[in-house]
Amino acid sequence: MVPEKKEQIETYFKFIIIFIFAGLYAWGGLEFKWLRRFLAPAILCFGMFGFSRDWKCLIQMPFMMATLSLGYGATALWGKILRRGIFGLTNGISSSTYNIIKKRWLLIGIQVVLLVGLYIAVGVWNPFLSARAEESFFGLIIPIISILSAENG
C-alpha cells in the first residue's frame, strides 16, 4: 500500500478513537464518572501506543486520569473563570505529556492555550444549546492533538 494511503487510513482510525473518547467524556459528565476519569484516557493512551509502538505514550495516562478527576464547577463568575482556567491548564499539560517528552513545544503551547481559552469561554458562557453538547465538544478537543501527534510506528 502507498504510504500516504496507509497514513490516511490510520488517521481515520485515530478519529474513531477521538469519537470514542468524546463519547466517554460526555457520558462521564452525565453519570458513571469513571468513564471520563479512567476509561477515556486509557483508550486514548493505548490507542496512541497502538499507532506509535512507543511506550512513552502510556506515561500520559495517569496524568490525564488525575486531571480529568478535578472539579471545575463554581457559583460566582470569578470562581467559574478561575476553576475552568485551572482545569484547562492542567488538562492541557496532562494531554501534552507525550509531546512534552518529545519536545514538541508548538503543539504543547497550542494545546494548553486552546484548552484554557475554550474551558473559560465555552465553559463559563456556554454558547451551545446544552451541557451535553458542551461536554461532547470538549471530549473532541482534548484528545485530538495528542493522538494525531503520536508517531506512526
Per-residue pLDDT of the chain (153 residues), as tens digits, is: 678 998 999 999 999 999 999 999 999 988 999 999 999 999 999 999 999 999 999 999 999 999 999 988 888 999 999 999 999 999 999 999 999 999 999 999 999 999 999 999 998 888 998 989 999 999 999 999 999 999 875
pLDDT at site 99: 97
Per the document, the length of the chain is 153
pLDDT digits (tens, 9 = 90+) for 65-83: 999 999 888 889 999 999 9
What residue spans define the domains of the chain? 3-148
